[in-house]
Amino acid sequence: MNFYGSMEAAWQRAGSLLCVGLDPDPSRLPAHLAARPDAVFAFCRAIVDATAPFACAFKPQIAYFAAARAEEQLETLIAHIHREHPGKPVILDAKRGDIGATAEQYAREAFERYRADAVTVNPYMGFDSIEPWLAWRDRGVFLLCRTSNPGGSDLQSLDVGGERLFERVARLAAGPWNGSGQLGLVVGATFPEELARVRAIVGPMPLLVPGIGAQGGDIEATVRAGGPRMIVNSSRAILYAGAGEDFAEAAAAAAQATREALREALARP
Amino acid sequence: MNFYGSMEAAWQRAGSLLCVGLDPDPSRLPAHLAARPDAVFAFCRAIVDATAPFACAFKPQIAYFAAARAEEQLETLIAHIHREHPGKPVILDAKRGDIGATAEQYAREAFERYRADAVTVNPYMGFDSIEPWLAWRDRGVFLLCRTSNPGGSDLQSLDVGGERLFERVARLAAGPWNGSGQLGLVVGATFPEELARVRAIVGPMPLLVPGIGAQGGDIEATVRAGGPRMIVNSSRAILYAGAGEDFAEAAAAAAQATREALREALARP
């Protein structure tokens, strides 16, 4: 099955647009776990197992694992998700981007070593930096389009001849760059009008939407702008919903509440 | 000393603009090393020790180490360079780019874990994605500006209102974004006219210039366009100059020849 098919099945099965982002900040791990040598894995595994009923996908952010020398824990975590929660795609948030021969190595890192189902990639270097990822036909590639940070506007909102740079990226990603049907886009929830604009350009393409929760994006406005084919990510608001020994239960409650809020927003006429 | 100062001293001491890129492709390691568990480190260390007399800096490409599960070998390699070849800056080619909290983790990965002197960063997400790197005041940050691959033109050459996107990046990097004086730019050698244009915009800022050697960039045209304040990278043409047990001698000869060609081009009126 290709990634669009896997994502379709995951949305259906989970009845949820929520993606749980796994950003294990070492300074915010619960005290009773922090001293364990596998603290990062233990924390993320507990979050995954508690929130899986409410999530359509998981998104580990590789920077947190790399800064903590926890690459092996990331491998173990993704293997755990595949084994215990089959049918929940793992999107490795790595925002890589490099030329051909090097992009091949990054693709091997994400798809072979970590066995991710999809990855985030930066489009600044153009299509020949994206192509090597597409050789993995059953995997997905989410290109950064309109990111959720305020500074995202610095370049992405520049007018490139009647449209903004992020609109051009959306048009390329939905058209000439997507011959193999593996691309999605990253569009922040913090700018609902721009999310709506991207949706209008790309049609039913899956959108990975960070920025709700801690970053302040509004669920109702996000769903109105982006429709049902979204993977709506929340990281900190779920991971750190509780800080004590009951952190996993608190995370599950936060995930469930977010799923419900997304469902209600979708059901509203 | 800040990174500009370190780079200035490195250029002077080495009498060379050459940076040796460390892209250890597992399929191209010499046969007598390939079976060693530390093959990646052993290969790179031999290249470093043989080419150091001709180089002003080293640039490990992290993708090759990550795909090979060789993060520890990369740590050991950079520690080796700092210990055995002090005063040769290590530029970690990682092309990271993410929002604030995550960028902090990437900066810890590059600067704290790997002890790199400088790093390459993708500017697509704007200044607030660059700022966290600048908290490390003695380190340098090379922003992708005009990359050496053909597809680099897809976005970088778009007209953003009287100038191209890469020119805008250059103008931002030389002006409002560079309050702390830590930024450099990555500009490919494969487009000498565009390199000259960037040089005209940014003045004496250090430019990291990949694309000579295997990628076909012309040394003479590069030096004419970019002047002396360049870190001119060559990877494959040096690393794989020989394939046998004498690979390090072959790499040294290739590095020396490249240094001489750069010197001669600089001396030409």
**A 183-222 residues inside an 8 A Cβ radius of B:** none
CA B137, CA B134: separation in Å to the nearest integer?
Answer: 6
Q: How far is CA B75 from the centre of its chain?
A: 17
DSSP B135-147: TSTT-EEEEEEE-
Question: Are the Cβ atoms of B122 and A122 closer than 8 angstroms?
Answer: yes
Nearest CA in chain A to B160: A160
Residues B147-171, mean pLDDT to the nearest whole number: 97
Q: How far is CA B223 from CA B152, B191, B262, in A?
A: 21, 12, 7
List, for residues B47-81, the tens digit of each pLDDT value.
999 999 999 999 999 999 999 999 999 999 999 99
SS3 at position B80: helix
- Whether B102 and A61 lie within 8 Å, measured CB to CB: yes
* Per-residue pLDDT tens digits for A89-134: 999 999 999 998 999 999 999 999 999 999 999 999 999 999 999 9
pTM for this prediction: 0.97
Q: Is B132 on the interface with A (CB under 8 A)?
A: no
The pair of three-digit structure tokens given for residue B163, joined into one six-digit string: 């100038």
Whether A105 and B67 lie within 8 Å, measured CB to CB: yes
Domain boundaries, chain A: 3-267
Which residues of A are less than 8 Å from B168 in CB distance? Answer: 155, 158
What's the pLDDT score for residue B167?
Answer: 98
Mutation to test the B interface, candidates A99, A128, A240, most B Cβ within 10 Å: A99
Residue of B69, B98, B156 best to disrupt the A interface, most CBs of A under 10 A: B98
Pick the CATH number of A3-267 from 3.20.20.70, 3.30.70.2970, 3.40.50.720, 3.40.50.300: 3.20.20.70
**Quick check: A128 contacting B, CB < 8 Å?**
yes
Is residue A67 within 8 Å of residue A23, measured between CB atoms?
Answer: no
- Write out pLDDT tens, residues A167-217: 999 999 999 999 999 999 999 999 999 999 999 999 999 999 998 876 777
Q: Which of B:33-62 have CB within 8 Å of A?
A: 61
Q: Average pLDDT for residues B172-188, to the nearest whole number?
A: 97
Q: What's the gap between Cα B32 and its chain centre?
A: 28
Output the six-digit token pair for A198.
Answer: 């991207």
Q: Is the pLDDT of residue B217 over 90?
A: no
Answer whether A31 touches B (CB < 8 Å): no
Tokens of A164: 């903004």
Ramachandran area for residue A99 (φ above 0: left; ψ -120 to 50: alpha; else beta): beta
Question: pLDDT for A1-51, tens place per residue?
Answer: 899 999 999 999 999 999 999 999 999 999 999 999 999 999 999 999 999
Partner-chain contact B126 A23, CB within 8 Å? no
Token pair for B69 = 């599960």
Q: Residue A211: which of A184, A183, A231, A240 has the closest Cα?
A: A231
Average pLDDT in the B88-96 region?
A: 98
Residue B59 is among the residues annotated as catalytic for this protein: no
Mean pLDDT across B97-101: 93
- pLDDT, tens digit (0-9, with 9 covering 90-100), for A250-265: 999 999 999 999 999 9
Give the count of beta carbons closer than 10 Å to the beta carbon of residue A96.
Answer: 28
In percent, the amount of chain A with pLDDT more than 70 equals 99
pLDDT (0 to 100) of residue A269: 78
pLDDT at B61: 98
What part of B 59-88 touches A (C-beta under 8 Å)? 61, 63-64, 66-67, 69, 71
Does ipTM surpass 0.90 in this model?
yes
**Which residues in chain B touch residue A113, judged by CB atoms under 8 angstroms apart?**
66-67, 69
Best residue of B64, B125, B136 to probe chain A, by most A CBs closer than 10 Å: B125
- Give the 3-state secondary structure percentages of chain A, helix then strand then coil, rounded to 5: 55, 15, 30
Tell me the nearest-neighbour CA distance from B135 into chain A, angstroms: 16
Instruction: Report the residue from B108, B109, B125 with minimal CB separation from A152.
Output: B125
- Return the structure tokens found at A124: 């600044």
